[in-house]
Structure 1
């Protein structure tokens, strides 16, 4: 999946000479948490978060209206973060998730040919990853321990195919610290996984989940 498929294209922006009061108003009106700061060519030169604005605003303990007004009239360039980490519309979502994690950020502007074209937030990313797991469809989960060899995924998937069930998603993760094995997580569109569980056992595969269903007595 590409960034262009999940990014928001209607982006609220401000110029660097806008005031903190302007930013505060936009954050409240649009219920957003980040505002990219752009120049006249729509190039991203900074970014401001709701926390930046909150930290720059006068304390509620101060009762002096003139102080509060003066603080809020400061230009946004005084508090914006720069340079800004940006991404491209053709970047892969899975790789961008790593950027969010590694950089501990909550928002990434999307830039094409140096122009701002969209924005992706951590909430957008989390929702996308939830969709990729297939959890949004009615389904059952089966986890299978398999040897880490080429062709193992279609081999196991063929067992589900014999019963004509749709596979909503397939995830792969390592088996503890053993590089010789991995775990395949199949989400299949049925509420009765028992026949598939037995098929996998008959084929010699070890189930990690569900692993509390006893085999039928012969």
Structure 2
């Protein structure tokens, strides 16, 4: 089985200069848990919903919101992303996916082509679906 058989090709990307407010809006309005950060089409990093939750104040969007809360929303994606994420090639096999998940404490693996452009993403949930379908 190939990585192409389990990866999601419905990826959502943001640019390095996009604001945290844009990132928050995407997470608030979609079922995705990871956003790939690109620069000139090339994968630069990744932002998880957990990365966002770590920096957001619970008072954002409430009457208790502070100027500090608003400043966080004005930060840029490059300030909160995980740089140089662990990736796999679109030529990788299922065993490669399993090895990466076992070796690293990560929840998804971006899949890139030879130009380091994202073409998909595999989460541990995608891996579990293989066994759920049997």
Alignment TM-score, normalising by the size of structure 1: 0.56
Aligned counterpart, 1:45:
44
Aligned counterpart, 2:7:
7
Larger radius of gyration: 1
Alpha-carbon distance in structure 1 between the residues aligned to 2:25 and 2:101: 27
Which of 108, 119, 122 is the aligned partner of 2:121? 119
Q: Secondary structure at the match of 2:90?
A: coil
1:66 is displaced (CA, Å) by 2.4
Q: Secondary structure at the match of 2:88?
A: coil
Alpha-carbon distance in structure 1 between the residues aligned to 2:45 and 2:111: 13
In the TM superposition, 1:1-218 aligns within 5 A as 1-40=1-40, 42-60=41-59, 63-113=64-114, 114-131=116-133, 136=134
Alignment TM-score, normalising by the size of structure 2: 0.89
What are structure 2's unaligned runs of at least 5 residues?
Answer: none
Instruction: Check conservation: 2:14, 2:38, Cα contact below 8 A.
Output: yes
Instruction: Check conservation: 1:58, 1:67, Cα contact below 8 A.
Output: no
Aligned residues: 131
What are structure 1's unaligned runs of at least 5 residues?
Answer: 137-218
Per-residue Cα deviation, 1:47-88 (whole angstroms, up to 9, x for no partner): 001111111112439923422211111001111001111111
